[in-house]
Structure 1
């Protein structure tokens, strides 16, 4: 693969419990950091309810737009866990109990304990590869560029570790953070000019308040270490030239 080619991804979070606020999502931030660390750019996140039409529409929109689509939630044993069926419908393939998935589950439970509810977790769309997990054994799956994972954070993280060696990755994004010791309003104009001068370096400003008052962190990101270093030097020079770098409300 051309190392300069960007590898992109989206995350689709599935579940009424997320939208209602009963469950607080803990997966998006983990996936975002994980993908950044291996050179995959997370470009979009969506949250949809446990409704087949909504899941199918989102899957079909996102899987053609990005290199990978990661989904979390909706592959458990209950009646409203309909992600696997929805993915099968999105791809126009059948779905049935998969002997490979059953064998995985038998490493944790006896065949007598494979109740109809548990066997729902062995239903895999036809043509999919399993995404194993080291926590509960019930697998996720991968169909083309769609990676379907559990919503339970520990299980999802195990699945990410399993699937990562199979993923295309790009050149890792590098970043530096500079404490401005100035208000965001004081750095906005010169910082904006530098952002235009370095279109290949992503620049963002993030105000915060600490014991010294109001301040700003300036974050620079690029895949090119030389361009990042050059931009960093210019931002540092810009900050050094600012009059009255004080911590006051912008």
Structure 2
């Protein structure tokens, strides 16, 4: 673990995927992770991007997890042959992979889901690992040691971060408040959300869309250390959304702050 200043907690991000290095996909996860860690009192000290090459993932992961308090990886946990992050993490820790029964149950419960060999790949977790909840869609991520393994799709990754925060030790205590928007898509709420985020850089603002039989919308989660500024930020966000024509917006009590 890193041994910097007293009470200083450090982290690294390992971005995995050929598509990032080729430029076909633009990474936005690093920015979101950095902001999220910041409001938890964790300093993002390093970020690396590696291709879908087993040895390179293992080497980078071992170097980072020995140097920093936490490592967050993104990408490479899907169903295709080049999604090898779980294999590399297991190899780095010297353990085997197994199919987690909770993930298998989740996959089986999805309507029209054929549980073929490709999809079963997403259920593999290293022995000794624990699940990281996925609040958006698809299977969860996992954590082992000081490593959190998250999805590469930005919306899914951000949802998984909500389950990472409570597990971080040594960071500052944060407060969370949730604003729920119903019947409006992210295209409408994006501008006011961005404006409020820029006005309050010490706050973490995340958008988590939902879809279902009862309709669609987004849960906007605001996190910060200062309760007074957080309250002001919530009021400003609701006002900005209403000014944009969003009518069905209200603050809700979060289940887990």
Give TM class, smaller chain. Answer: 0.5 to 0.7
- Say whether 1:35 aligns with 2:48: no
Question: What root-mean-square deviation, in Å, do the aligned CA atoms of Structure 1 and Structure 2 show?
Answer: 1.9
- Counterparts of 1:32-181 in structure 2, within 5 Å, are 32-109=34-111, 113-171=114-172
In the TM superposition, what whole-angstrom CA distance separates every residue of 1:50-90 from its partner, at most 9, and x where no partner exists? 00000000000000100100000000000000000000000
Structure 2 unaligned segments of length 5 or more: list them. Answer: 174-257
- Counterparts of 1:190-209 in structure 2, within 5 Å, are none
CA contact (8 A) 1:104 1:139 kept: no
Task: State the match for 2:211 in structure 1.
Answer: none
1:21 to 1:66, Cα distance in 2 relative to 1, 3 A: same
Task: State how many pairs are aligned.
Answer: 170
1:129 to 1:109, Cα distance in 2 relative to 1, 3 A: farther
CA contact (8 A) 2:7 2:170 kept: no
Aligned-pair distance for 1:170? 2.5
Aligned-pair distance for 1:12? 0.1
Structure 1 unaligned segments of length 5 or more: list them. Answer: 173-250
Q: Looking at CA atoms only, which structure, 1 or 2, has the larger radius of gyration?
A: 1
Whole-angstrom distance in 2 between the partners of 1:171 and 1:164: 11
Whole-angstrom distance in 2 between the partners of 1:166 and 1:50: 28
Task: State the match for 1:10 in structure 2.
Answer: 12
In the TM superposition, what whole-angstrom CA distance separates every residue of 1:180-235 from its partner, at most 9, and x where no partner exists? xxxxxxxxxxxxxxxxxxxxxxxxxxxxxxxxxxxxxxxxxxxxxxxxxxxxxxxx
In the TM superposition, what whole-angstrom CA distance separates every residue of 1:7-32 from its partner, at most 9, and x where no partner exists? 11000000000000000001000000
Aligned-pair distance for 1:137? 3.2
In the TM superposition, what whole-angstrom CA distance separates every residue of 1:162-195 from its partner, at most 9, and x where no partner exists? 12111114348xxxxxxxxxxxxxxxxxxxxxxx
What is the TM-score with the length of structure 1 in the denominator? Answer: 0.65
CA contact (8 A) 2:103 2:123 kept: yes
